[in-house]
Structure 1
Amino acid sequence: MRGEPGGTWAVKAALLASAASVLLTLTIGLLGPSAVVPALTGEPWQPPYSLQATPSPHLVIGLAAAALVLGGMGLVGGLLAIRTSPTRVAEWATGKVRWVVAAGYAAAAALAFVPPSGSADHLNYAAYGRMVTLGLDPYVLGAVDLPGDPVAAAVESPWREEPSVYGPVATAVQALASWIGGDSVRLTVFVLAVVNVAAFVGTGLLIDRFTRHDPVRRLRGAMLWTANPLLIYQLVAGMHVDTLAIACMVAALLARDRPGRSGVLLGLGVAVKLNAGLVALGPAWELRRRPGRLALVAGVALAVVVAGYAIVGVAAFNQVGQTSKAISHASFWKLVQGWLQSVIGTGSAYRGEIQVGAILLMVVLAWGLLRRVSRAADAPGAGASTVDAPMVAAMLAVAYLFATPYILPWYDGLAFGVLALVVASEVEVFAALHLAILSLGYLPARVQEQPPDLAWLVSVVRQQVVPWSLLVLTAALAWWAWRAGGRVRQRPAPEAPRR
């Protein structure tokens, strides 16, 4: 153990930072409506609950910043500690990891009973569900088309004119919440929160069961998902629909021995959010030499997706097509767009060219990562490293998140859910840094009620610091993948122990 610096103190410090981050996240919601917590109309006795303390914008944004910084330190530090001190971590984790997992579940459950924070997307979800219960089409109308409606009125700018971009399964869940919540935004949002927490905890249970044979992998799985403070901030407190899609995809990967069930789960995940379909390429690769089983999985998944979209109509694809051409402010592709406009001219947004560049970059990153992983699996002493469906899906998800022009921090959850199913590698550290940087770039993601003196959080941090940071991080990932992939085969086999 002399070659394992740090020991268990590094894991304990990481978990302490993560716990502090989660407590700050819970405090933000508990304080009530603020610059990062949209107000919810409805009866006071209805959940979620808060102290209605009307905290200042600077206070809650400061608490959110502290939560993200501590969460990033805890996540990155914990993953590095596991990599550098596996023996000591194994000794410590054997009897204690279950408490880490339980703490993650408890935190997620508690957050369901306080108002969502960080963004206002949950208000859009409530409005889309409301439209369905009123017999209207959320893929054609926006909240602005329901004047006087108490639920639609809660939707904030600049999203009031925007129809839904989510799949039919997500819309069905939103409609169920609206049917239960009625005119109450509070109750509608609470039902959505319960479903969201159930998906988050359910994914955690699947990961924990899959890794339970190894205390180190179990602890790593908890740090990547169940007790990940940044995912708790983004997916649970932020209450984004991505959680449901990830739950379906993780379950599908773990049900590969039952192709029919796996196909249904893949289809459901895609019918929540289309970009989750990237995970389906993992099982497709694994079954490439078994065409009969591949056809069954693909056929069932396609049937589920087609049935869902047949119910809601082709209008559901309209907004998706527009969103696919967008470039988020925190993406380094925004820098590329600016360079093209300064060199070639401002007469074009160059979105088509950027889309082509993003696809090429994703292919290069995915190929490099898979090349590195496959060579590691073939190297002497590789042990349990295998290039299976979860590994392929994980590398593709990471490549997509690093390459896509339109990226938001909660999108990263897809990679973490799948990474928890594969053996450890440096990729998860890159993913953790990506999530931490991007989270700070959207502090907060909510647009309304932001103090003017903090406008630099958008103009400087989101639009300058974060894009440059992500550009450097993406270049480092590409360099690591291709350099490591080219050198893995040169590693000598470990010397056999002397008797």
Structure 2
Amino acid sequence: MLANAAVFVGTGYLLLRTADDPVRAGLLWSVNPLLISVLVVGGHLDTLVAGLAVSAIHLARSSTRWHHDLTVGGLIGLACGVMVSAGLLGVGLAWPLLRSGAWRPADRQACAAALTLAALYGVCGTHALAPLSVASRLVSAPSLSAVFDQFGTAVLGPHATAAIVSVLGPVVMLALAWALRRRAAPDAPSIIALPFALAFAWVLAAPWSMPW
């Protein structure tokens, strides 16, 4: 919790110093009682992922040199090392670069992220990925898939339903991300709007999702 508090305060400081509207950033992050309760008091690692994500997006917005791209990729790799779902952040940051034809910055970010992640798993071992394969077939009560899971289990059986849910989850997530991106403000930078759309769609569509 102390480590989460330190990361939370550091992320809030970065947002206050760099946001176009510091007051709004402070209200939504630094003094937000919901985030303080979930990210600090909750004692989970999501605070670290959020801090790394904010840092990566901030640096990617002002990236002008090759070492900036490597740093962004390293931050993405570290975030993925904490929670693999942070890979959506890498996709959201790389997509605008690929669409604009900036292949080299995208390649540098991808290589740095992959090398960082490989180094982390080289230390921890690939057994750290075991919970991921298990969770891909689980459905939590607060998720949107809970009703389908209960109905499908009764009609098709648990194994068939789990297989369908694991396939439909990413499809629903991408559909929601597309809808959210279209609803974003026209002047919203893609480097911010795309990671937000993907992350928020994942929160809504992921079959196995905890309140934090």
TM-score normalised according to structure 2 size: 0.90
Residues 284-323 of structure 1 aligned to structure 2 (within 5 Å):
284-288=94-98, 289-323=101-135
Structure 1 partner of 2:26: 222
Of the three residues 333, 338, 351, the one matched with 2:162 is: 351
- Structure-to-structure mapping, 1:186-335, within 5 angstroms: 193-211=1-19, 213=20, 217-256=21-60, 257=63, 258-288=68-98, 289-335=101-147
Give aligned pairs, total.
Answer: 204
* 2:142–2:211 CA contact under 8 A, matched in 1: no
Question: 2:181 is matched with which residue: 370, 381, 389?
Answer: 370
| Partner of residue 390, structure 1 | 192
CA distance in 1, matches of 2:122, 2:191: 29
Closer, same or farther in 2 for the Cα pair 1:345/1:221, shift >3 Å?
same
CA deviation profile, 1:152-211 (whole Å, cap 9, x unmatched): xxxxxxxxxxxxxxxxxxxxxxxxxxxxxxxxxxxxxxxxx2221111111111111112
Judge conservation of contact 2:144–2:204 (CA < 8 Å) in 1. Answer: no
Q: Distance in 1 between matches of 2:159 and 2:108?
A: 44
Unaligned runs of 5+ in 1: 1-192, 378-384, 411-499
Distance in 2 between the 1:347 and 1:320 partners?
19
Contact 1:204 1:225 in 2 (8 A): yes
Quote the Cα distance in structure 2 between the aligned partners of 1:202 and 1:234.
16
The alpha-carbon distance between structure 1 residues 336 and 300, as it changes in their structure 2 partners (threshold 3 A), is same
SS in structure 1 at match of 2:94: helix
1:24 aligns with none
CA distance in 1, matches of 2:156, 2:80: 38
List 4+ stretches of structure 1 deviating above 3 A. Answer: 345-349
Structure 1 or 2: more helix by fraction:
2
The 1:323/1:218 distance shift into structure 2, 3 A limit, reads same
Deviations 1:428-460 (A, max 9, x none): xxxxxxxxxxxxxxxxxxxxxxxxxxxxxxxxx
Tell me the CA shift for residue 347 of structure 1: 5.4
Corresponding residue SS for 1:409 = coil
Q: Assess if the C-alpha contact under 8 Å between 2:152 and 2:158 holds in 1.
A: no
Alpha-carbon separation, structure 1, partners of 2:69 and 2:196: 20
RMSD: 1.5
1:203 maps to amino acid:
T
Give the conservation status (yes or no) of the 8 Å contact 2:78–2:117. yes
Separation in structure 2 between the aligned mates of residue 401 and residue 266 of structure 1, nearest angstrom: 18
Do 1:287 and 1:294's aligned partners in 2 also have CA atoms closer than 8 Å?
A: yes
Q: Which amino acid aligns with 2:166?
A: Q
Partner Cα separation in structure 2 for residue 240 and residue 396 of structure 1: 21
Q: Which of 184, 190, 202 is the equivalent residue of 1:400?
A: 202
Shift, 1:363, TM fit: 1.3
Are the aligned partners of 2:88 and 2:198 in contact in 1 as well (CA < 8 Å)?
yes
Structure 2 counterparts to residues 107-146 of structure 1, below 5 A: none
Report the CA distance between 1:349 and its aligned residue.
6.0
**SS in structure 1 opposite 2:95?**
helix
**Relative to structure 1, is the Cα distance of residues 347 and 260 closer, same or farther in structure 2, using a 3 angstrom cutoff?**
closer
Of the three residues 321, 336, 340, the one matched with 2:148 is 336
* 1:408 counterpart SS class: coil
Change (3 A) 1:198 1:312: same
Secondary structure of the equivalent of 1:196? Answer: helix
Distance 1:264 1:357 in 2: 31
CA distance in 2, matches of 1:341, 1:404: 18
Identity %: 31
Cα 1:348–1:294 shift into 2, 3 Å: closer
CA distance in 1: counterparts of 2:205 and 2:136, whole angstroms: 13
Tell me, yes or no, if the aligned pair for 1:326 and 1:405 is still in contact at 8 Å: yes
Task: Letter of the 2:76 partner, please give it.
Answer: L
2:126 alignment partner, SS class: coil
Q: Which amino acid in structure 2 is aligned with residue 329 of structure 1?
A: A
Residue deviations 1:332-366, cap 9 Å, x none?
A: 31111111233x24454611101222222111111
Question: Structure 1 length as normaliser, TM-score?
Answer: 0.40
